[in-house]
Chain A
Amino acid sequence: MNQPREDRIEFLIELEPAQVMAQYRSGQVTRRDLSKLFAALGLTAALGPTIGRSPALAQSNELTMIVWEGYSSDSLRIPWEEANDATVEATFASTGDEMFAAMQGSGGTTYDMVSASSDLPQRLYDAGLLMEIDPTKLTNYPDLYEQFQKPPYITFDEKLFGVNFAWGPTILLYNPDEIAEAPTSWNALLDEQYSGRITTWNYPLQIGQYALLLDPKPEDPFLLDDEQLAQVKDLLVQQRPLIRKYWDLGGEVAELFQNGEVVIGDGWSWITLQIQGSNGSIAEASPEEGVTGWSDSWCISSEAANPELALKWADYMIGPEGQMGVIENLNYSITNSKVVETLPTEVREQLRMTDVPAEYAKIHMWKFIPNYDKWVQVWQEATAS
């Protein structure tokens, strides 16, 4: 620490990036030193022939991703960062649409990875934004249940474009202090007695969830004809005046419950954990009409700055550490059969993993919707009034 600053920067420039990062982590190098170093390198780069390119150091060990909330929780991210001398820069998206827009807006250069749910990869693939994944490079890949190794939503032209690592349902959340008996139907979200105290996710894909209420119930709530769409729209229009707020991000749902703005809504287990974490009252219910759900995969951008690093992250997330992290941080179901086998029975029961293929099949998983523009239109019109 006694070395004069300028000398130290010169010294740092000579080091390998990984060494610099190691020194930074161990506290030998301060953040200020680092930024000076970057400035020095940036200056060198700008003066040199590589004008306009970021210095390699700044990028080589940074992984940028656009994800659902919770997938970059500290306890998931930090061990991996330390093991790989890398940093994860995560941005939260509120919908798959937002992920798509963020990926497409920059032609895939902004984010190296995206935690795509089962509806999204098709669109990303069609837009040429996905990189093929070689499963032989993933050490944990053989441990995945067979159904998660090459599922249709990440397999295009026989090639693999994602690493399926988590799944789960969208469920009913309610405040047990206000609602004594657990609701059993999605109709609770259209119940007059909760008028002005209901929240629902602001996402056209949610039409599928409300389609479960139609009579007769569509075989697949994500394949609706125009008439069925119109029926769902009627439901949504009827629901509109009862809604306190259409939520965008999971953290917002937690806030709505805790500030006493709502007593019932839809959401995911991660939200439940958030509210419980700050001592709020919350309970989950699984309606009898069935549930919609998601199956999430790590997809890599075709323009990813460092695909190798992205693969490492994906591999980590389907390995024992990552999979346990998914359970602990998010309460979501996982895809690695070896890890599932190590779980205590009550966890397996609670997370629908006593018989994974059978229980997975019960959830209406999100899927690519061919007439999605119509869904968007219906959703906008229904929520606008």
Chain B
Amino acid sequence: MTARSAGALMAETVAPAALPLRPATRKRGGPWLGIASAIVYLFLYVPLFVVVLYSFSATKVNAWPIQGYTLDWYRELMVDDDIQESARLSVTVGLIAAAVAVVLGTLAAFALDRSTFPGKPAFRFFVVMPIVLPGIVTGVAMLSFFSMLGWPLSKWTIIVGHATFCITLILNNVVARLGQLPRSLDEASADLGAPPGRTFWRVTFPLVRPAILAGAILAFTLSFDEVIVTFFLTGRDKTLPLLIWGRLRQGISPEINAAATVIIVVSLAGVLLSNRLSKQTTFGG
């Protein structure tokens, strides 16, 4: 659930489409702003460094200084079937949820951008709710709903839960992008005699694609990391965060630190990829 809100509210910044180069304001006030920023960066990153560092710790005890270094936890990770199985489940859930959300979120975004209808502000308001309301609300609401319908909890109920908040992410991303596009593009295309279908596929869609892609990657990542909604909607399936949660509760840490380090490295690749993708199709950079 973690990263849900930010993505929702200011989605396009999460995978920034190449920031235009802007002249900075005249320098004033000395280096204090830079120093303050550096401290905040440090605060943001200290836990990540700790995780990476302790994934090499030879003892299970989380004491400082570290008593010795080892790669054992990574070796254990490699033969840990449970972790691998959970990781696979998380990938499956994330991919399906993101795919569902891409379709539904993009449809809704076009509807919102291209038309006005009574109740539109209400719809706009309602559609951000899954992301703004605490995850626990979504989780228990769906739990009681599925229980009333008699649907057994499974991978599919997790997917439904994730897709629901992912829709909002995609929607916001695409709406923001559509808002930046000059309407004249569509009109020019129509004036040149292109049928609306072709205008959509040849003009509008390519321009929106990066936003959809960035949104999809974000949706996947958030689904991959989600704990709170998943906790209530899972049957016997354990996604990676649920497995990590279970182990952390038991006080098992070094191998989890190793798993987290792998996740950090993989996400780094994801971030770079997403950045690359959004760059390719915009105004250079």
A260 to B64, CA, bound (A): 12
B252 and A109 within 8 A (CB): no
A297 to B104, CA, bound (A): 49
Bits for B238-261, please: 1 = Cβ < 8 Å to A, else 0: 000000001001111100000000
Q: Could you tell me the distance in whole angstroms from the C-beta of A199 to the nearest C-beta in chain B?
A: 12
Interface stretch of the complex, out of A115-123, A215-223, A226-234, A245-253 = A245-253
Chain A hits for B246, CB < 8 A: 91-92
Chain A hits for B249, CB < 8 A: 94, 248-249, 251-252
Task: Indicate whether A377 reaches chain B with its CB closer than 8 angstroms.
Answer: no
Q: How many residues of A contact B (CB 8 A)?
A: 26
A197 to B246, CA, bound (A): 24
Bits for A255-298, please: 1 = Cβ < 8 Å to B, else 0: 11011100000000000000000100000000000000000000
Chain B hits for A105, CB < 8 A: 143, 147, 153
A110 and B235 within 8 A (CB): yes
Task: Indicate whether A37 reaches chain B with its CB closer than 8 angstroms.
Answer: no
The residues in B between 9 and 65 inclusive whose CB is less than 8 angstroms from any CB of A are: 60-63
The 9 closest A-B pairs by CB, nearest first: A255-B251, A251-B250, A251-B251, A252-B251, A110-B236, A249-B250, A110-B235, A249-B249, A258-B61
Chain A hits for B152, CB < 8 A: 106-107, 109
Q: Could you tell me the distance in whole angstroms from the C-beta of A101 to the nearest C-beta in chain B?
A: 11
Bits for A70-113, please: 1 = Cβ < 8 Å to B, else 0: 00000000000000000001011010000000000111011100
A14 to B250, CA, bound (A): 42
Contact of A252 among B60, B61, B250 (CB under 8 A): B250
Chain A hits for B153, CB < 8 A: 105-106, 110
A38 to B128, CA, bound (A): 38
B252 and A251 within 8 A (CB): yes
Task: Indicate whether B81 reaches chain A with its CB closer than 8 angstroms.
Answer: yes
User: Which residue on B lies nearest to A107, using beta carbons?
Assistant: B152
Q: What is A's interface to B at a CB cutoff of 8 Å?
A: 31, 64, 69, 89, 91-92, 94, 105-107, 109-111, 248-256, 258-260, 278
Chain A hits for B236, CB < 8 A: 64, 89, 91, 110-111
- 9 more A-B contacts (CB under 8 A) besides A259-B61, A259-B63? A31-B81, A91-B236, A94-B249, A107-B152, A109-B235, A110-B236, A251-B250, A252-B249, A253-B251
User: Which residue on A lies nearest to B253, using beta carbons?
Assistant: A255
30 contacts between A and B (CB under 8 A): A69-B250, A89-B236, A91-B236, A92-B250, A105-B143, A105-B147, A105-B153, A106-B152, A106-B235, A107-B152, A109-B152, A109-B235, A110-B153, A111-B236, A248-B249, A249-B249, A249-B250, A249-B251, A250-B250, A251-B251, A252-B249, A252-B251, A253-B251, A254-B251, A255-B251, A255-B253, A256-B251, A258-B60, A259-B61, A260-B63
A259 to B246, CA, bound (A): 19
A329 to B152, CA, bound (A): 35
User: Which residue on A lies nearest to B156, using beta carbons?
Assistant: A52
Q: Could you tell me the distance in whole angstroms from the C-beta of A82 to the nearest C-beta in chain B?
A: 16
A111 to B250, CA, bound (A): 20
Q: Could you tell me the distance in whole angstroms from the C-beta of A25 to the nearest C-beta in chain B?
A: 13
Q: Could you tell me the distance in whole angstroms from the C-beta of A54 to the nearest C-beta in chain B?
A: 9
A259 and B250 within 8 A (CB): no
A259 and B252 within 8 A (CB): no
A91 to B153, CA, bound (A): 16
A250 to B81, CA, bound (A): 23
Chain B hits for A110, CB < 8 A: 153, 235-236
User: Which residue on A lies nearest to B147, using beta carbons?
Assistant: A105
User: Which residue on B lies nearest to A31, using beta carbons?
Assistant: B81
Max chain A Cβ within 10 angstroms of own Cβ: one of B62, B153, B250: B250
A251 to B251, CA, bound (A): 5
A92 to B250, CA, bound (A): 9
User: Which residue on B lies nearest to A62, using beta carbons?
Assistant: B236
User: Which residue on B lies nearest to A260, using beta carbons?
Assistant: B63
A255 to B252, CA, bound (A): 8
Chain B hits for A31, CB < 8 A: 81
User: Which residue on A lies nearest to B60, using beta carbons?
Assistant: A278
User: Which residue on B lies nearest to A258, using beta carbons?
Assistant: B61
User: Which residue on A lies nearest to B150, using beta carbons?
Assistant: A107
